[in-house]
Amino acid sequence: MTTTPTNTITPPRPTTIFSRTSFQGASKEMSFSSVPASPPTQALSEMDIGSTVTTPAVTRPSSPIEALPASPLPSGKHRVAIIGSGSWGSALAKIAAENVWKHRDDFHREVRMWVREKHVNGKKLTEIINRTHQNSRYLPDIALPKNLVAVPHLKDVVKDATLLVFVTPHQFLHTVLRELAAPGVITPGARAITAIKGVEVNGTDIQTFASLIESKLGTPTSALSGANIAIEVAQEQFCETTIGVPSESDAKLWYSVFHSTNFHVSCIPDVAGVSLSGALKNVVALAAGFVDGLRLGGNTKAAILRIGLQEMKGFCMEFFEGSKPETFSDESAGIADLITTCYGGRNRKCAEEFVKTGQSFDKIEQKLLNGQKLQGTATAEEVNNFLVARKRAHAYPLFEKVYQISFKGVSPQEIVRGL
């Protein structure tokens, strides 16, 4: 079994990139230097991308963290590629593009974002994004940095990239990995991070998407998850996120890509815990949506959240050796993300609609999600199949009930029976 699996406020700046669950010897302060100029008002497509830009020493931005791990590229700079362009992918791309521009001594200033080409009002979505600097389909009315470039071909997006950010719908991940695994596509020495929620199940084996990416591409892979509603992140409302990392070097790199004044990053050495919490909370959110659809009230919903958190933690501790319970109790990826998702996420919303209308989740997804994919139902099915294969479904009654209601025609009113 695989076991690795719009107002803004300015909060106090953290003193370290590492969380309470930290790496040994990582107590040295590592923080951002002063913020230089914003991305240019002129689009990069209108500039000489290949030219060498010399910045006077007095204004040249310093490294966000001392001694970032070296880039394998001849330039010595890291290049970020965003694989996915939905609302969450676009929000993360916005943060990454802003950060690499501020710290362009360490990063190539252009960030490429893979967009599966669609037509919006007769025009290509990539052309709309690159001309208007807005993702009108998935993240409308949010200004994107002009150094963020939408690209329709995956190989062009990852060319010379050293830092790969996976944020595609989970249904497309295998197709993406097959293309990237071809010889010569991925830069040797590249690192990856996944913000995709879900798990991979094969009989009695279960694997996180971080582990899947690492096994297919040979890239050290981290996982990002937290109480992060995409539109609120894009609007720069203060929030926190958690990154599970395999090493301190990965922590330094991903912190420098994503940490900002209003998007606080906590790095912990628990890739599996962050991955699993991000996946399993969507199953609990379906249960919360059933409760909302039944109008059962705050007491019942609070009970569902408590039971759900216990099952999330128990599942991870039982099947992923080395996972830490503190990930669920102390980190944004745990209890904070569960609360946010059970009150404001798409899985809760669709589950409530499921109860109220009796429509299938496929129809509800088409009606409410604007072409995006529902994650909780797929995860509920995968987790149930795994637990049945392991003869452990009885130990996780909430997960079992969500599966039965979603796929077996059991009445939503049964959600609280036998818990």
Rg, the chain, Cα only: 21
Residue 300's alpha-carbon distances to 272, 290, 329, 330, in angstroms, are 29, 11, 21, 23
What contacts 337, CB < 8 A, 6 or more positions away? 225, 226, 227, 228, 277, 278, 281
Phi–psi pair at 277, nearest 5 degrees: -65, -40
3-class state of residue 288 by DSSP: helix
Q: Per-residue b/e over 115-124, b at no fewer than 16 CB within 10 Å? A: beeeeeeeeb
Residue 286's H or E segment, with its range, is: helix 271-294
Q: Hey, what's the torsion of the CAs at 166, 233, 239, 62, to 10 degrees?
A: 70
> Which residue, 145, 71, 57, 148, is CA-closest to 106?
71
Q: Return d(Cα 125, Cα 134) in angstroms, integer.
A: 10
Residue 155's H or E segment, with its range, is: helix 154-158
Q: Hey, what's the torsion of the CAs at 301, 223, 136, 375, to 10 degrees?
A: -40
3-class state of residue 213 by DSSP: helix
Number of CB atoms found within 10 A of residue 132's CB: 11
Q: Which of 77, 94, 102, 281 is catalytic?
A: 281
Residue 205's alpha-carbon distances to 31, 114, 389, 409, in angstroms, are 40, 31, 9, 27
User: Residue 287's Cα: distance from chain center in Å?
Assistant: 22
> Which residue, 135, 128, 143, 145, is CA-closest to 40?
145
Residue 281 is a catalytic residue: yes
Query: Would you please indicate which residues are annotated as catalytic (active-site) residues?
Result: 281
